[in-house]
């Protein structure tokens, strides 16, 4: 291994202490690297070394796993609780670095004090306390929810659904309108109003997907779409919090507004496609002209000879 590569290798982006945990595996990997790196060409060598670096950083992060999981994953934990870490590992929260203590509080670095209130442990929320528990991060959604029929019914009598009723607590996935279905939404009332809402959201959702695909296609063919990407992102973000109002007439009114904005965006992508086409035919024309000129020059040269 040359000096340069060994420098790339020994400068990982993790701190010395977390890195210490994985010294043994680093040494194994390094031995394997020394064997392998000699045999491969420079390009594969670099890719390989980068992959190993990534593997070590990932290993170092597992060594950094909160103590919560060490106990909660253990055999002595009662079965109903023991399945929680596995559910959480599949969640969108896990993918985005939201861990046990981000929701429950407590100290993820000190097993003895992990669940002590002095270290901020808040335990399990009551059914009616869940919205605020989640809403400390999802502020805009909490606001819409609290003002909704669901939020009011929850606060008044505990009869409304809370965040967990619709999203779950530990296996939370990326949200979409499939959460609105007959089974879930007819537990407490008829499905009728839910169905009308889903229809309105579905039409707008489809427009968003169509435009998203059109923009991807345009940018893959070299068109500049940053402005349109931004407009779509903003519209989508605003649209996605709308559901929590569960206000059927507001949803219909607002989706009409979003549809207008999206139709405007659709016109822009259409004209970008037209521009792309005319660029293509212009290039075709140029090619034809050059070819024609070539033939003329050739013929002229021949006649003069
Ligand atoms: C997104 C926030 C969130 C995260 C992250 C989270 N929890 Fe929870 N947890 C909750 C909520 C909300 C409840 C209450 C569940 C309910 O109402 O059904 C709960 C309940 C629990 C319970 C009690 C379950 C019961 O049946 O009484 C345990 C134990 C628990 N969580 C452990 C964990 C562990 C361990 C982790 C990390 C692997 C974790 N939680 C991560 C939100 C979270
Ligand atoms: C030393 C082992 C251990 C550690 C470390 C640990 N727990 Fe627990 N936890 C337990 C046990 C045992 C229970 C109770 C299970 C039962 O009721 O049988 C429990 C219960 C819970 C509950 C449900 C009961 C309640 O009070 O709400 C939550 C939530 C919870 N733990 C979260 C956490 C979080 C978050 C962390 C890390 C900051 C953590 N735990 C660290 C062992 C541990
Ligand atoms: C009655 C069911 C229901 C309840 C209660 C509920 N949600 Fe949702 N949530 C949904 C549905 C359906 C969507 C998808 C909406 C869409 O795609 O237009 C969603 C979307 C979301 C999103 C994604 C928004 C985005 O920007 O993409 C988050 C975050 C969320 N909910 C958090 C919460 C929180 C926090 C609570 C409690 C305060 C809550 N939800 C209560 C059904 C519910
Ligand atoms: C510590 C902050 C925090 C807490 C507490 C929290 N979340 Fe999240 N949540 C996040 C982050 C960060 C993301 C990932 C970024 C994103 O997708 O918006 C996320 C994503 C989500 C999504 C997927 C959003 C999407 O784009 O489709 C849902 C649904 C969600 N959270 C629901 C909940 C529910 C329900 C609770 C309570 C049980 C909760 N969250 C508690 C921070 C939090
Ligand atoms: C835990 C019970 C429960 C579940 C589950 C539930 N709801 Fe509701 N919902 C209520 C209550 C309570 C009200 C307020 C009383 C009423 O208007 O019927 C309500 C009201 C509504 C309203 C009328 C709101 C208004 O202000 O006019 C709509 C729309 C609605 N729910 C949609 C849904 C959808 C969509 C789902 C599934 C994603 C769902 N609900 C799941 C309990 C529930």
pLDDT at 189: 96
Q: In this structure, which residue's CA is closest to atom 33 in ligand 1?
A: 100
**Would you say residue 25 has pLDDT above 80?**
no
What are the tokens at 228? Answer: 């349109």
Write the CB contacts of 280 (distance below 8 Å, at least 6 apart in sequence): none
Per-residue pLDDT averaged across 83-109, rounded?
97
Q: In this structure, which residue's CA is closest to atom 36 in ligand 3?
A: 163
Atom of ligand 5 nearest to the CA of 194: 35
Q: Taking Cα atoms as reference points, which of 77, 85, 74, 71 lies closest to residue 115?
A: 71
Q: What is the pLDDT of residues 228-283, one digit of tens each?
A: 999 999 999 889 889 999 999 999 999 999 999 999 999 999 999 999 888 888 88
* 136 CA to centre of ligand 4 in angstroms: 10
Q: In this structure, which residue's CA is closest to atom 15 in ligand 1?
A: 169
* 104 CA to centre of ligand 1 in angstroms: 7
Per-residue pLDDT averaged across 294-299, rounded?
84
pLDDT at 250: 93
**Would you say residue 111 has pLDDT above 50?**
yes
Provide the residue ranges of all domains of the chain, joining segments of one domain with +.
3-64
Q: Average pLDDT, whole number, for the chain?
A: 83
* 71 CA to centre of ligand 2 in angstroms: 8
Atom of ligand 1 nearest to the CA of 68: 35
Choose the residue to mutate in 67, 76, 84, 115 for probing ligand 1, maximizing ligand atoms within 8 Å of C-beta: 84
Per-residue pLDDT averaged across 107-111, rounded?
95
**Would you say residue 11 has pLDDT above 50?**
no
* 96 CA to centre of ligand 4 in angstroms: 9
What are the tokens at 98? Answer: 């939201």
166 lines ligand 3 (CB under 6 A): yes
**Would you say residue 304 has pLDDT above 60?**
yes
* 249 CA to centre of ligand 5 in angstroms: 14
pLDDT at 29: 44
Alpha-helical segments (H) within 64-170: 67-72, 79-82, 84-89, 92-95, 100-104, 130-135, 139-146, 149-157, 163-167
Whole-model pTM: value is 0.82
* 197 CA to centre of ligand 5 in angstroms: 11
At 34, is the pLDDT very low, low, confident or very high (cuts 50, 70, 90)? very low
More confident residue, 157 or 47: 157
CB 276 within 8 A of CB 223: yes
25 lines ligand 3 (CB under 6 A): no
Q: In this structure, which residue's CA is closest to atom 21 in ligand 2?
A: 123
CA 189/CA 110 separation, integer angstroms: 46
pLDDT at 51: 52
What are the tokens at 282? Answer: 């212009």
More confident residue, 1 or 158: 158
Neighbours of 36 (CB within 10 A): 14
pLDDT at 184: 95
Strand ranges inside 190-263, DSSP E: none
Q: What is the pLDDT of residues 178-208, one digit of tens each?
A: 999 999 999 999 999 999 999 999 999 999 9
């Amino acid at each position: 291994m040359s000096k340069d590569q060994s420098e790339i290798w020994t400068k990982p982006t993790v701190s010395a202490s977390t890195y210490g945990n994985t010294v043994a595996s680093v040494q194994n990997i390094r031995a394997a690297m020394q064997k392998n790196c000699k045999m491969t060409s420079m390009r594969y060598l670099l890719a390989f070394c980068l992959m190993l670096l990534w593997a070590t950083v990932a290993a170092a992060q597992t060594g950094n796993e909160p103590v919560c999981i060490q106990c909660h994953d253990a055999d002595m934990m009662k079965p109903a609780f023991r399945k929680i870490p596995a559910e959480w590992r599949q969640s969108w929260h896990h993918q985005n670095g939201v861990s046990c203590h981000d929701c429950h509080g407590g100290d993820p670095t000190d097993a003895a004090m992990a669940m002590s209130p002095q270290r901020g442990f808040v335990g399990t929320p009551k059914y009616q306390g869940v919205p605020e528990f989640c809403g400390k991060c999802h502020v805009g959604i909490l606001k819409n929810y609290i003002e909704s029929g669901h939020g009011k019914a929850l606060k008044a009598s505990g009869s409304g659904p809370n965040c967990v009723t619709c999203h779950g607590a530990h296996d939370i996935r990326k949200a979409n309108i499939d959460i609105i279905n007959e089974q879930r939404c007819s537990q407490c009332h008829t499905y009728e109003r839910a169905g009308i809402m889903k229809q309105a959201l579905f039409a707008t959702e489809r427009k968003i997907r169509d435009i998203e695909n059109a923009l991807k296609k345009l940018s893959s063919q070299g068109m500049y779409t940053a402005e349109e990407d931004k407009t779509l992102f903003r519209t989508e973000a605003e649209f996605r919090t709308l559901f929590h109002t569960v206000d059927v007439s507001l949803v219909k009114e607002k989706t009409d507004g979003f549809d207008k904005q999206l139709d405007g965006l659709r016109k822009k992508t259409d004209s970008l496609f037209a521009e792309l086409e005319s660029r293509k035919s212009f290039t075709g024309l140029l090619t034809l002209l050059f070819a024609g000129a070539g033939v003329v020059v050739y013929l002229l040269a021949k006649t003069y000879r």
